[in-house]
Amino acid sequence: MPTIFERLKRVVMERLGVDEDQVVPTADLVRDLNADSIELIELAMSLEEEFSSPSRQVEIPDEDLAKIVTLQDAVNYLRGLGIEDD
């Protein structure tokens, strides 16, 4: 089963059009992956869709999105919402 990071990695690659070797836990969404503000919002929406389930609706408010700088920040945030590796 895919881990949170593996699922996140797939979404980031699709949304931001970056190569797999760029998508590492320490990658900065803006500096390393060149995401602009619109792409960050679209990425958050994609993550909400990816990690929501019938029993849990994931929502990432703008103020929380501003705190997600690296991919590891995103993993930690999702874990904080109770999302676990499959």
Q: What is the pLDDT of residues 5-64, one digit of tens each?
A: 999 999 999 999 999 999 999 999 999 999 999 999 999 999 999 999 999 999 999 999
36 catalytically annotated = yes
- Is the pLDDT at 67 greater than 90? The verdict is yes
Please say whether the structural domain 4-80 has been given the CATH code 2.40.40.20.
Answer: no
| Start-end of H helices in the chain | 4-16, 37-51, 62-65, 71-80
**Per-domain residue ranges for the chain?**
4-80
User: Quick one: pLDDT at residue 1?
Assistant: 77
Query: Among the options 21, 28, 32, 36, which is catalytic?
Result: 36
Residue 86 pLDDT: 77
